[in-house]
Amino acid sequence: MGRDRVMGAERTPLIAGNWKMYKTEAQSEGYIQALLPRVSSVSGVDIAVCVPYTDLRAMVDSARGSRVEVYAQNMHHEPQGAFTGEISALMLSELDVAGVVLGHSERRQLFGETDKALALKVPAALEAGIAPILCVGESEEERDEGETERKLRHQIGEDLAGVRDERLAEVTIAYEPIWAIGTGRVATPEQAQEAIAFVRALVGGRSPAAAEQVRILYGGSVKPDNAAELLELPDVDGALVGGASLEAESFAAIVAAAQS
Ligand code: PGA
């Protein structure tokens, strides 16, 4: 598997499906019934589906006792307050939601999500017992201008500023180059490994122990036919999957690739 580190850190891969704004509650039910038997014999891989708020309760109920954990796709950092249209970590944890995607590039680009807000959201999720997946990544223009590392340094520095070193390893980071999201244009294994090793080194700048333990996923046009070569990279600890997570069969195939 190529996951053995010099220090012997063993990181369980995570395959997380990001549904975005797809599937009503009724549609989610058919999906989970199709997914569960396909992943019931999988071992050594954590599985999550990140679903719209309106699907959370039904999905948590249907997935209970299975290997599949249910995540939300955003949350507010305050437990409650006058924040019309927002959902808090407290509300998610009462539903037994296991985790939350934070800082997805669509939220940053289309809904004005800021690094300042993420610096509050990531620790708030940890505090509430909700596992955060923090998304980072550069645009095509930033990559072309040689700005990838500067962007990643900025995002990791700002977004994790409120997390104590002892808890850094509890955050999952997803490296998602924006030019690879929903485009079918997957990063090459070299690009993915290089960026993810850089992110790990950034975490290592704060805590070498956390760098060994922290899970870093690749995201951006992961499909059943390219998953294996990405997942075998030494620093890649799983995938955040958009389009290919919408069908139970293709999502299960990516989970299987993480196991082999
Ligand atoms: P994609 O999306 O797999 O459809 O490229 C990834 C993501 O947005 O997390």
pLDDT single digits (tens) 54-107? 999 999 999 999 999 999 999 999 999 999 999 999 999 999 999 999 999 999
d(CA 230, CA 67): 22
Determine the average pLDDT of the residues in 172-180.
98
Substitution site in 15, 100, 101, 240 for ligand 1 pocket (most atoms within 8 Å of beta carbon): 240
Pocket test for ligand 1, best of 176, 230, 247, 251 (most atoms within 8 A of CB): 176
Does the CB atom of residue 109 touch ligand 1 within 6 A? no
pTM equals: 0.96
Q: Is the pLDDT of residue 9 over 70?
A: no
Distance CA 17, CA 47 (A): 8
**Whether pLDDT at 206 is above 80:** yes
Q: Give 220's pLDDT tier (boundaries 50, 70, 90).
A: very high
CA angle 114, 112, 152 (to 5 degrees): 45
What pLDDT, on a 0 to 100 scale, did the predictor assign at position 260? 77
Is 103 close to ligand 1, i.e. is its CB under 6 Å away? no
Mean pLDDT score, 46-59: 98
The pLDDT mean for the chain works out to 96
